[in-house]
Amino acid sequence: MTGFFDDRETRSADQRAAENARRLPLQVAHARRHAPAYAEMLADLDPHEASLASLPVTRKSDLIAAQAEAPPFGGFTALGLADVPRVFASPGPIHEPQGAGADPWRYARALHATGLRRGMLLHNCFAYHFTPAGMMLEEGARALGCPVFPAGPGNTESQARAAAHLRPACYSGTPDFLKTILEAGDALGLDLSSLKLAHVTGGAFLPALRSFYAARGLVVRQSYGTADLGLIAYESEAGEGLICDEDVLVEIVRPGTGDALPEGEVGEVLVTTFSATYPLLRFATGDLSAVLPGASPCGRTNTRIKGWMGRADQAAKVRGMFVRPEQVSEILRAHPGLGRARLVIGLDETRDTMVLRVETPVRDASLVQSLAATLQNVTRLRGSVELLEPGALPNDGKVIDDTRPA
């Protein structure tokens, strides 16, 4: 099933860039005026001159610390508690507000791309307690005019029997749980043929699962989102990467920093939202991805990313000291012209070792010595340096590789 959710999905790159350039300073001003945490963080910034690169990165650790100091939201929300419809809690712990209005997490766009249309029943197997996943998909479906069966997770046999009776058109939940329900239905002799569509997230959608669903004639599409941000990107009928939502700005940066990476390079996903309730700016998801070249063959023109490619949180403790990805970036900034770098941590009998591997066409002993000195100065730890040919390191976003046994 094809068709666009709205005209914004097919805008030209120039139109989208102009609109985002207009909206970003307004959102920065809104955050600074109404969210106390951003009032402090952005005190010296003129919102009218704001660009993404000029904004500080907001990390989950910032939210956790701020929420512990000033519960429940640490000053990052722009509404009072009385104006928040629901409050959720995710591991960390991090507490998230539900935004005001219909479809505050913007999942209608992703469900529409899956094929959900007005009047179709959604069998929603995401949890409704503590975390917001269940409400995210429900609010998106309701915005499309679709009724929802709030099934939640677990209770496999009951799920199968309910689906056989209610005849839903679409499933939403983790990628593997639908397979469990379908197999339970088969074992019970139930007719689950009404399920033609599925929208999955919250887990790895592996090729074997894709093949299983395709063999049963199901259209299954995935999305990428978080409890803090809502929808970030979604899959369309083209099946080539995930298309960024129209109401977020997505950046790929060197892990642990705010330094933008070029198209195709794997790095950490930063997201800026235009939410009036929870105006997170350059929020570091801790996830790895990369920007795909060009536009989707489906006709949607926004940036595409590869999807979830692992975690960017790579801090490690070496000889009692933490080393972090931002320190590797600091070393590179001190030596312009280098390519990728990776700090490999190992174990020599009982002693931690560090080797900084750096891509460069230069073969110079003085560069090795200079890099080793910078490594010690930045990390306060001694390590060796290896110079590699450009392109020798994998493009996987890994900056610190801890090879020690668990």
pLDDT of residue 386: 97
Going by DSSP bridges, is the β-strand pair 384-388/122-124 parallel, antiparallel, or unpaired? unpaired
The pTM for the full model equals: 0.87
Identify which of 404, 405, 340, 335 has the alpha carbon closest to the alpha carbon of residue 373. Answer: 335
In this structure, what are the phi and psi dihedrals at residue 321, rounded to the nearest 5 degrees?
A: -115, 140
CA angle centred on 384, ends 383 and 388, rounded to 5°: 135
In this structure, what are the phi and psi dihedrals at residue 52, rounded to the nearest 5 degrees?
A: -55, -45
- In terms of Cβ atoms closer than 10 Å to its own Cβ (0-12, 13-18, 19+), residue 317 is exposed
Quote the distance between the C-alpha of residue 29 and its chain's center. Answer: 24
* Distances from the Cα of 226 to the Cα of 1, 107, 111, 310, 363, angstroms: 26, 11, 16, 14, 44
pLDDT of residue 326: 86
Kindly report whether the peptide bond that precedes residue 93 is cis, defined as omega within 30 degrees of 0: yes
Pick left, alpha or beta for residue 303 (phi over 0 → left; psi -120 to 50 → alpha; otherwise beta): beta
pLDDT of residue 281: 98
Q: Are 375 and 331 in contact (CB under 8 A)?
A: yes
Residues of 72-86 as b/e, b for ≥16 C-beta within 10 angstroms? Answer: ebbbbbbbeeeebee
Question: Following CA atoms 95, 400, 259, 58 in sequence, which dihedral angle do they give, to the nearest 10 degrees?
Answer: 10
pLDDT of residue 97: 96
Q: Are 315 and 306 in contact (CB under 8 A)?
A: no
pLDDT of residue 2: 60
Give strand pairing partners of 225: 231
Identify which of 260, 280, 284 has the alpha carbon closest to the alpha carbon of residue 28. Answer: 280
Q: Are 27 and 274 in contact (CB under 8 A)?
A: yes
- Distance between CA 69 and CA 330 in Å, rounded? 30
Q: Are 242 and 235 in contact (CB under 8 A)?
A: yes
Going by DSSP bridges, is the β-strand pair 351-359/384-388 parallel, antiparallel, or unpaired? parallel
- pLDDT tens digits in sequence order for the chain, 406 residues long: 568 999 999 999 999 999 999 999 999 999 999 999 999 999 999 999 999 999 999 998 899 999 999 999 999 999 888 899 999 998 878 999 999 899 999 999 999 999 999 999 999 999 999 999 999 999 999 999 999 999 999 999 999 999 999 999 999 999 999 999 999 999 999 999 999 999 999 888 989 999 999 999 999 999 999 999 999 999 999 999 999 999 999 999 998 889 999 999 999 999 999 999 999 999 999 899 999 999 999 999 999 999 888 887 788 888 878 898 889 999 999 999 999 999 999 988 778 999 999 999 999 999 999 999 999 999 999 999 999 999 999 999 989 999 998 6
